C-alpha cells in the first residue's frame, strides 16, 4: 500500500476548507502521529491541540511493517523532516 500525505501548499485550497495556512505544519504533524501509531497496530488515545482520538484502532492491520519514503517536490519540506519514522 502506498499512502500519500502532505501538509498542503496552496493557501486558497486550505482556506476553502476553513484551515489556516499557518497551522499546516502542526496539523500535519499531529495527524501523521495518529496515522503512524494506527499503522503500527496501536490503540490510539490522543488529545492533541487539533485532533482527538479515544481508543482508535485500524482494522485490518497492515500485512507488513510500515516504512516511510519521501518522494517529489515536498520530500524535503519541514513537516516531513520533523516526522518520526513509521517503525518507531
Digit-coded pLDDT (tens) for 20-58: 998 888 888 898 889 889 988 899 999 999 899 999 999
- Sign of the Cα pseudo-torsion (50, 54, 55, 60, in order): negative
- Sign of the Cα pseudo-torsion (76, 45, 59, 42, in order): positive
pLDDT of residue 16: 93
Please answer whether residues 62 and 39 qualify as being in contact, where contact means their C-beta atoms are separated by less than 8 angstroms.
Answer: yes
Please answer whether residues 9 and 15 qualify as being in contact, where contact means their C-beta atoms are separated by less than 8 angstroms.
Answer: no
pLDDT band at residue 75 under the 50/70/90 scheme: very low
Q: What pTM, to 2 d.p., does this model score?
A: 0.67
pLDDT band at residue 60 under the 50/70/90 scheme: confident
Flag whether pLDDT at 78 surpasses 50.
no
Amino acid at each position: 500500500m502506498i499512502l500519500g500525505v502532505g501538509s498542503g501548499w496552496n493557501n486558497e485550497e486550505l482556506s476553502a476548507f476553513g484551515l489556516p495556512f499557518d497551522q499546516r505544519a502542526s496539523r500535519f504533524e499531529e495527524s501523521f502521529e495518529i496515522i503512524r501509531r494506527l499503522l503500527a497496530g496501536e490503540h490510539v488515545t490522543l488529545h492533541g491541540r487539533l485532533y482527538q482520538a479515544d481508543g482508535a484502532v485500524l482494522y485490518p492491520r497492515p500485512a507488513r511493517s510500515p516504512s516511510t519514503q519521501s518522494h517529489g517536490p515536498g520530500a524535503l519540506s519541514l513537516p516531513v523532516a520533523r516526522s518520526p519514522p513509521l517503525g518507531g
